[in-house]
Amino acid sequence: MLFASCKRTDTSKAVSSGTYFSVKAYAADQWHVYHGLPFGIIKKIYLDGKADSVITNVNAINWGDILRVFFATDIGDRKYEGQYNFTSFVDSMSRTENFCYEANDPKLFTRKLNITTSIYSHKITSIYIETARNNKWSTHTQKLFYEPVKSIIIQDYESSVTGKGRDLRVEYIFL
């Protein structure tokens, strides 16, 4: 019989100086490491309940559109110092260390940034980001997920007081 628990070792810290994680710098590193490698990609698009997909390759993907979405969430600039609560914890069951940034102010575009790393290699295994922008007429939220050389998922939701909204999810699955 096997008994296991999800023991979390909380190592919460307040970041008082320096900068936070930069999505832009990480993307530049990933581009440098993987640029030119021949990956096949399945692109799946789900728009308001309708689905479409295509099998393509890494050279046919519009990386500018994808990077623009992720770059808009970057909190690495010094102007964001003190505007996010930072916590980290080790998950012994999944053998990961998790770094979490949560916005102090609900008006900040990037609301949540979670980075998961391997406790052995310290390499990033996934990045999850939540964004939100609200005004009196509409709400726009996003959920972004990146798993290096495995998947990129962009979920985009819009709703308005008129009732007309949009639900878009685009997945890029690396083959």
CA–CA separation, 76 and 79 (whole Å): 8
Does the pLDDT value for residue 175 go beyond 90? yes
14 located within any domain:
no
11 located within any domain:
no
pLDDT > 70 fraction of the chain, expressed in percent and rounded: 89
Note down the domain range covering 147. 46-166
Residue 151's nearest CA partner among 123, 115, 119, 127 is 127
DSSP 28: H
7 located within any domain:
no
User: 3-class DSSP state for residue 27?
Assistant: helix
What's the pLDDT at 20? Answer: 85
Cβ atoms 112, 103 nearer than 8 A: yes
Does the pLDDT value for residue 89 go beyond 80? yes
Number of compact structural domains in the chain = 1
96 located within any domain:
yes
| Burial (CB count within 10 angstroms: exposed 0-12, middle 13-18, buried 19+), residue 159 | middle
- pLDDT tens digit sequence for 98-146: 999 999 999 999 999 999 999 999 999 999 999 999 988 899 999 999 9
Q: Where are the beta strands (DSSP E) in the chain?
A: 8-10, 40-47, 50-57, 84-91, 96-103, 110-118, 124-134, 138-147, 151-160, 166-174
4 located within any domain:
no
pLDDT band at 6, cuts 50/70/90? Answer: very low
CB burial of 23-37 (b: ≥16 within 10 Å; e: otherwise) equals beebbeeeeeeeeee
Does the pLDDT value for residue 159 go beyond 90? yes
pTM for the predicted model, two decimal places = 0.87
Does the pLDDT value for residue 17 go beyond 70? no
38 located within any domain:
no
Q: At what angle do helices 23-34 and 63-71 cross, to 10 degrees?
A: 150
What's the pLDDT at 19? Answer: 61
